[in-house]
Structure 1
């Protein structure tokens, strides 16, 4: 058990350069929330729902992270910072990283039956801060969800999702094969299309300004020529 805890703390340290020791990682709210969730989930599976909820509420009070006791979470799960909500039927694979203010939310069933209504997150997924992943969708392995993205459809394996509503964007192979990308968003590629569009608009605006200046300069010349023609007449 100690070896398993050590491996987990080392996996967190590999994704976060801030801690100086494993002891420091033990104080992380995400680590504490996960530990309490393991207890709550065990109680939930034993059908001790009230006790499971009690542990859940205690965890939320201490960490500002709300993980429903029914959620199934794999190994080496890391919530960086906190303020995260994970619903009852969420399924999370191994080596998943979630940043602050993320919601793995559910849809409102119209037939009155709960069922599967929260996302399934594959192995090695990274979800950036503020992202909202909603409904009984599947996020494929090694997918990246960019900050503040809103995802309501299935995400293919290895895709990087950005925007509202989130769309897939291609990234270079050297970015895709990297084991870990902070916040799930490479620094350059996902923003390149919008940056190119802005640069194009700025170029067109500069050209229009030049044309306007030329037209303003030409107006007095045309007026002088008109008056000279009138006098000759």
Structure 2
């Protein structure tokens, strides 16, 4: 837990004031409490986690349960209105911005997105259903992604259109360069 928190701190520019960092601290604590095997000790830790999560949700606007699987160097760039489903899976080096929803497509049906490594999600994007987002993918702002996105592509629009990158140079360009 502490190694992950140190890495999260470095990933968030070693800035204690970043709200995304504190939301990740609460998340990491929630994951860690499952490793405590002795139930009489785990019960107060669970209560403390639920209390922290309530205040984290209310203060930062980030709903991210500890059942979500998040890789290393996860960055919450801007806070507010972020909803992540408990069965979503994120790879390493992912970036999430404000207004992002990663979750279920239909109420009552299981299945949330699985994201690869180095996925950059723009503000207001919605990733819904049991889809797979590949490695090195950029999701445009306000895109609604309902289908799989292969490695190295860009998803923009409502519903999202998948645009393959032409070269490695395109990966360094901002998403605005691909908008019509």
Judge same fold: TM > 0.5, yes or no. yes
Post-superposition offset of 1:43: 3.4
1:17 — aligned with what? none
In 1, Cα distance between equivalents of 2:35 and 2:140: 33
RMSD: 2.6
Among 103, 109, 118, the alignment partner of 1:124 is 118
Q: Is the Cα–Cα contact under 8 Å of residues 53 and 69 in structure 1 kept in the other structure? A: no
Instruction: Check if 1:170 corresponds to 2:164.
Output: yes
Decide which of 51, 55, 66 is 2:63's aligned counterpart. Answer: 66
- Counterpart CA distance in 1 for 2:144 and 2:170 is 22
Which residue does 2:145 correspond to in 1? 151
If the length of structure 1 is used for normalisation, what is the TM-score?
Answer: 0.65
- Which has more helix, going by share of residues? 1
Change in 2 beyond 3 A, CA 1:67/1:186: same
Q: CA deviation at 1:8?
A: 3.6
> How big is each residue's C-alpha offset from its partner over 1:113-147, in whole Å with a ceiling of 9 and x where there is no partner?
x64x2111111100000000001211101111000
Q: How far is 1:6 from its partner?
A: 5.1
- Residue 28 of structure 1 corresponds to which residue in structure 2? 18
- Structure 2 length normalisation: TM-score? 0.82
State the Cα distance separating 1:50 from its structure 2 match: 5.9
- The 3-state SS of whatever aligns with 1:73 is coil
CA pair 10-50 structure 1, distance change in 2 beyond 3 A: closer
Mapped to 2, the partners of 1:45 and 1:109 lie a distance apart of 31
Q: Which segments of 5 or more consecutive residues in structure 1 lack a partner in the other structure?
A: 14-21, 195-233
Q: How many residues align?
A: 171
Q: Mark the runs of 5 or more structure 2 residues left unpaired by the alignment.
A: 37-41
Higher relative contact order (CA 8 A, sep 6+): 2
Q: Tell me what 2:86 maps to.
A: 88
